[in-house]
Structure 1
């Protein structure tokens, strides 16, 4: 071939060349297209092929492609029934999982989530059951217990516990029992009645004296009415050093530290819940007023000490 013929051939090829973005795209395979297995294969991923897709270099020639009778998608029974209904994918056609119909159920299953399991609600106790449960708990407590704690333990509404405790306390009082249910130190607890205190003391103490000394009672009274208060302030009110008495009250759990004074940095003391429990009080506001116990010449005594 001469140089002119070669140049003419290259020019013809350049003129007939079509850019890739202008070329017609081949039709995409549909869901009804057959997934067939090559004869003699073991059903592995390499043997699964979509009908109409050329498998050999010469498959695009007439008679070797999808248009050949008995070898393409139009053959009945390969993946479609005679009426045109889509057939089932043969077992072992694992290659159809990529972009094929067999991949759809698996993808849907991955996206499923289980609904959260809600806990079963606690059973609602009847009034008789709630009353019995409260009485059983109050018999074993060693300190006053609040209504909120009782409601959490019994898994009941706090609105029911308070009125039921009031009803139980009123029932004990009306029946004349030797004990009563009282609110003390922010909670509820069973106490013996004051009219039977002498018999209880005789049984518990058995001749032993466990009462506080006069100095301890005076110091405890100063802390109760002046709290929070420092040691120096207590000593100034009593007129004597009270360090040893304060340590005794702290050891017995009647007094506790509650911070420091801003100016001097001295420790502050206050009464504890055990103090309220022993006196049968709910708050320190229920302490009796001091005015009836003060002497008539208290102002003169105060001026004399200045």
Structure 2
């Protein structure tokens, strides 16, 4: 039995056209037609025809997305006419989804990186385990490749973090010193908590 027989695309709803569409929809980077043809066990010419048909169909239907070919392959993109809508959704949604605890933890990691979970918990005064897991899942922090001498996992911010803040690197974060109280005030606070 060949790979094509094993996939049996023609018996599925939408057939090969829908199979190409399903793969392109989940791809997080452009997919060359040749790669699609190999993955779906279809002739390259047929895959290219299906891709062009999908792109033309999305255009004709006035969809909010389009299928475009670039030098590196085919990918689904939101239409340029809706850039402001998508930007607003992403910008507003991203800030609304992070809790105060997540923002505090993210700030500590950003300014102290690489930093151990225990240090973050110590600074915040509560366990940071769940919050760090959330930040890891959202791709805003990552485990550092350089481990701690004592074996603790160290955390750093990611490129996604910088991208969301519009920074090219964490070196562009504003300095904290202007926002901190003077040393004598800190001493008073420390003395009051004893």
Structure number, greater radius of gyration: 1
Higher relative contact order (CA 8 A, sep 6+): 2
TM-score normalised per structure 1: 0.32
Higher helix share: 2
TM-score normalised per structure 2: 0.49
